[in-house]
């Protein structure tokens, strides 16, 4: 079975990133903004030390 616990950190970090955008009055998240936020969050959370 696939262990989804690895993605919990990604989910938390991505949620915090999006909340940061919302707190800065960015209510509409474009595809470009989504991909940029996801890419940086993915690089920070999916590392060998986290797995």
pLDDT of the chain, 51 residues: tens digit per residue: 567 777 888 899 999 998 998 898 878 889 998 999 999 998 888 777 766
User: 26: which 2 tokens?
Assistant: 């960015």
- Closest C-alpha among 31, 34, 30 to residue 18: 34
Distance from chain centroid for Cα 43: 9
What is the reported pLDDT for 1? 55
For the entire predicted model, the pTM comes to: 0.70
What is the reported pLDDT for 44? 84
What is the reported pLDDT for 51? 60
DSSP letter at 49?
G
Distance from first CA to last CA of the chain, Å, rounded? 16
What is the reported pLDDT for 50? 63
What is the reported pLDDT for 45? 83
Provide φ and ψ at 5, rounded to 5°.
-65, -25
């Amino acid at each position: 079975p696939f262990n989804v616990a690895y993605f919990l950190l990604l989910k938390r970090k991505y949620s915090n990133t999006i909340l940061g955008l919302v707190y800065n009055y960015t209510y509409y998240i474009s595809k470009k903004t989504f991909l940029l936020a996801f890419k940086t969050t993915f690089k920070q959370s999916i590392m060998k030390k986290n797995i």
